[in-house]
Structure 1
Amino acid sequence: MATAARIRPETTAAEWEARQQLAACYRVFDMLGWSEMIYNHITLKVPDEDGAFLINPFGLHFSEVTASSLVKIDIDGNKLDDNPYPVNRAGFVQHAVFHRHLPDAHCIMHTHTTAGMAVSSVEGGLRPINFYACNFAGQIAYHDFEGVTVRSEEGERLVRNLGDKRMMFLRNHGILVMGRTLPEAFVKHWALQRACEIQLATLSMGTPLEVAPEVVAVHQRDLHMAQVPGGPGAADFAAMVRLIDRRDTSWRE
């Protein structure tokens, strides 16, 4: 594993907690098979610091990310610490525009999972043909593929196409999910990924059964009754952190 930049002494308690939460999330994503070589990103705002967020060091696999190796940057991509790792421009450009313009986008996740890319690459995108897809009917935005996201001028179109939604399929590209907290973003990504996997399996078998709009409305109305107290995704994410701790606790360093 690459040697992590040890910067814990220079961080506040709130920032260190955020670093550990984000590092854990990278390890969880890898455990679930959502890593993509050294690419893709999860970003998290630094508590009590306007315009500062944490991102993975470019060059490390998700399984190598630690709390101290995360890079702290401002909204313009400038490093705010002495971390020796570079930042992937594609990750900065895409995430920074949302962190800049959306106060509630505390955590942003972008992946290239097989199922997510497949659903983003078909006409109609995600269809209401399974339990998880019904969670999100009417709540997903779409943005046409413009090539690798390294040009800042694409940001205006990304924000415009997102509108008031907080989940997006980047067409021919993958999944983009935002949350007011990291656990909320995590559980949304998990459920959206499951919806994509099940759609992929269903379409391979034959003609799917679409759920009627009035049933989708009832499903979405009642979902809160099946949630554990503690906030969206909190219990789910805590359970996954316990699993990664059984494997390896180095993410905490």
Structure 2
Amino acid sequence: MLDLGNRKSIYQPEQQGLKFPDLPEFDTPAEERKHRKERLVAACRFFAQQGFDYGFAGHLTIRDPERPELYWTNPMAVHFANVNMSNLILVDHKGQVVEGEYAVNRAGFVLHANVHEAHPDIIAMCHAHTVYGTAFCALGRPIEPITQDACAFFEDHVIIGDEAGAVAVENHAGSNVAAAFKGVKAALHQNHGLLTASRHSIDSCAFWFAALERCCQQQLMVDATGHKQTYVTPDRARYSREHVGSEYIGWLHFQAVYEQLAKEQPDMFD
């Protein structure tokens, strides 16, 4: 174990006075709510940028800081690229829209509401029907530690095989997903797709979703070569996960994404 002192990560500079992202602090719940909604919108735009759209499929959520029994999410049948501050909706665990003009995605409500309700510590969730993640989930296999990037998920993801392939539109369907998210940040829902959850931020949740999709792509590419794979040893995989796979690191990665999106797509704040 490295002695990081007061730092959260080895990536935080020891040298004082350098520009480096700081974790936000808020004086009021309203400030935190605005921040969370901005980052939720940015996460949706990021998903559009990454090509994670598939019609109306895909849903991202973040708890309201003042009313944790409610969560903000993207509106039904609005493309990720068109999500902005004004069309987000606030939903309760029964699937009722408390604030906003749009309907909620039924499958999103079933999956996310069950997880949020079962795990008060989870504040954000992401799911989308991606090409490589969906393909890899059909194999019923875990992410193998074949790269440093893949080590970020070593012993930190699960495979959910129950009700594999059945669309989650009935309330009970989300219970198995909720049960699986105990102490992990990601799940491979067999014959369905990827899910990530965060106890830290929507920033972290969105980045690790994109990273998981990338790992699925890399694994499928390596499999396609037909060559024997070389694995990172468990001790080294855990070491890498500690330093490159934390919630904080996911948040830190997303800061570069957010700054670029804010510069290129200012309409997301409308």
Q: TM-score range by the shorter chain?
A: 0.7 to 0.9
Moved over 6 A (4+): none
Name which of 191, 207, 214 aligns with 2:211. Answer: 191
Partner of 2:112: 95
Q: Which amino acid aligns with 1:47?
A: P
TM-score of the superposition, structure 1-length normalised? 0.86
How far did 1:135 drift?
2.2
Correspondence for 1:148: 167
**Unpaired segments of 5 or more residues in structure 2?**
1-28
Q: 2:224 aligns with which of 204, 223, 229?
A: 204
Matched position secondary structure for 1:54: strand
Shift of 1:132: 2.1
**Structure 2 residue identity aligned to 1:152:** N
Q: Does 1:15 align with 2:33?
A: yes
Counterpart Cα distance in 2 of 1:170 and 1:66: 28
Q: Hey, what does 1:63 align to over in structure 2?
A: 81
Matched-pair contact (CA < 8 Å) for 1:31–1:244:
no
Deviates most, 85-94 or 33-42: 33-42
Structure 1 CA distance for aligned equivalents of residues 234 and 209 of structure 2: 19
How large is the RMSD of aligned CA atoms in angstroms?
2.2
| 1:234 matched residue in structure 2 | 251
- 2:183 is matched with 164
**Is the 2:61–2:112 Cα contact (8 Å) retained in structure 1?**
yes
1:223 & 1:143 partners in 2: Cα distance? 22
Instruction: Give the corresponding residue for 1:27.
Output: 45
- How far is the alpha carbon of 1:26 from its aligned partner? 0.4
Moved more, 169-178 or 181-190: 181-190
Distance 1:196 1:79 in 2: 34
Match status 1:46 vs 2:82:
no
Contact 1:41 1:111 in 2 (8 A): yes
**Which residue among 72, 85, 94 is the counterpart of 2:90?**
72
SS at structure 2 position matched to 1:178 = strand
Instruction: Please tell me whether the aligned partners of residues 67 and 252 of structure 1 are also in contact (alpha carbons under 8 angstroms).
Output: yes
| Count of residue correspondences | 239
Which amino acid in the other structure matches residue 49 of structure 2?
M
Q: Which one is further off, 107-116 or 157-166? A: 157-166
Q: Shift of residue 58 of structure 1?
A: 0.5
- Aligned to 1:148, the other structure's residue is in SS state coil
Q: CA deviation at 1:227?
A: 8.1
SS of match in other structure, 1:57: coil
Q: For residues 129-148 of structure 1, what are the structure 2 equivalents within 5 Å?
A: 129-144=146-161, 145-148=164-167
Could you list the per-position Cα deviations for residues 141-175 of structure 1 after superposition, in whole angstroms to 9, with x for gaps in the alignment?
Answer: 12221511011112332223344323111101110
Displacement of 1:63 in angstroms is: 0.2
Q: Residue in 1 aligned with 2:24?
A: none
- Over 3 Å counting, the alpha-carbon distance change for 1:183 and 1:216 in structure 2 is farther
* Deviation, structure 1 residue 210: 3.7
Picking from 77, 102, 112, the partner of 2:129 is 112
- Using the alignment, how far apart are the partners of 2:70 and 2:194 within structure 1? 23
Deviation at 1:217, TM superposition (A): 2.3
Displacement of 1:90: 0.5
- Could you tell me how far 1:224 is from its partner in structure 2? 4.3
Q: Percent identity?
A: 24
Which stretch of structure 1 is more off in the superposition, 142-151 or 57-66?
142-151
* Alignment check: 8 A CA contact 1:115 1:193 kept: yes
Q: Secondary structure at the match of 2:87?
A: coil
TM normalised by structure 2 equals: 0.81
- Three-state SS of the structure 1 residue aligned to 2:115 is helix
Q: Quick check: 2:151–2:240 contact (8 Å CA) kept in 1?
A: no
Question: Is the Cα contact below 8 Å between 2:152 and 2:245 reproduced in 1?
Answer: no
Equivalent residue in structure 2 for 1:128, among 142, 145, 156 = 145
